[in-house]
Amino acid sequence: MQELLYLEHDGKVLLVDSNGAGPMLAEMGRTEWPQRDDRSWLLRLPTQKEVESLGIAWHERRRNRFSLGDERFEVIHALPDIVWPEHWAWKDTIPSDSAVHPAARESVYRSMHRLVAKVILRNPSGQVLMAKVKRGFFTGHWTLCGGFLDYAEHPRDGVAREAAEELGISIDVGDPHGESAEPREGEDFSFVQSRIFTSEGINFVSFTYLVDIDPSSDDFKLKDDEIDEVKWFELDEAVQVAASLFDLDALSQLMEGR
């Protein structure tokens, strides 16, 4: 297993050349570069020894482990003790530079958040709606309605879209402070969480909102390929059956504040 160091600060990442000298800059959109052989890369992440030779102190944040073909990597994500890395590569230029070693590009990819929006649908009796899903991470288990956000989509808008897609209902997500656009009346409960679930280091951020719906909204049109069934649960029961840690924590937070 190769051990490499991923130093990022203010949107910039430390890259070195094939000999370990740096810092080096990535070039967005580069597809060709001089190579000695098929395993020669123009730019890559440094080793701990190479960073030490550059005189940079750093503080470890976490370690990610992943495979690329037959090669295995352990990448230490760390915060460098530096004021401003003026001559480092901009993070956004690295993924499109084919001269950068795949482990560096993969490390940038893993450092980007995956955004999820969920909604707690509550009826006048205080029960909350859970859906048993047919596919995805929690197949066959109970979860809150929601899913991944689309590009440039606010979480409040995303969760309304998910409710329409998964359950066939239209909901108004309260936005009293106008976070998504114009202020909208409604419940101001929102719960934001961030978790990394595996050693590969992909980071998920979840936004969970609360929407009160009328019993007339009980006529759900379930998305055939995604939702098996829906059911109303008492809040404490929902906490017991929730499969997602994001759902569990959001429901527990609501229960504490009810």
Give the list of residues 6+ apart from residue 189 with CB closer than 8 angstroms, or none.
120, 209, 210, 254, 257
Residues 161 and 209 in one domain: yes
Is 107 in the same domain as 123?
no
In a shared domain, residues 121 and 93: no
The domain in which residue 223 lies consists of: 114-257
The strand pair at 128-133 and 227-233 is best described as antiparallel
Return the CATH number at 80: 3.90.79
Give the end of a domain, one of 60, 77, 111. 111
Q: Which residue, 86, 111, 136, sits at the end of a domain?
A: 111
- For residues 63 and 131, membership in a common domain is answered with no
Query: Which helix (H) or strand (E) is 53 found in, with range?
Result: helix 48-53
Q: Are 85 and 139 found together in one domain? A: no
pLDDT score recorded for residue 219: 82
| Helix H or strand E encompassing 67 | strand 58-68
Do both 95 and 216 map to the same domain?
no
Cα–Cα distance measured from residue 57 to residue 141, given in angstroms and rounded to the nearest whole number? 46
Residue 124: per-residue pLDDT: 93
Examine the fold and report which residue of 48, 82, 111 is the final residue of a domain before the chain moves on: 111
Assign residue 212 the CATH number of its domain.
Answer: 3.90.79.10
Q: 1: closest CA among 60, 56, 70, 71?
A: 71
pLDDT recorded at residue 38: 57
Residues in the chain: 258
Give 10-residue mean pLDDT values along the chain (258 residues).
96 95 95 71 95 96 95 97 95 95 95 95 95 88 96 95 95 85 81 93 95 82 92 96 94 85
Number of domains in the chain: 2
Residues 125 and 208 in one domain: yes
Are residues 240 and 134 part of one domain? Answer: yes
Is 130 in the same domain as 221?
yes
Residues 96 and 123 in one domain: no
On whether both 53 and 146 belong to a single domain, the answer is no
Q: Are residues 20 and 88 in the same domain?
A: yes
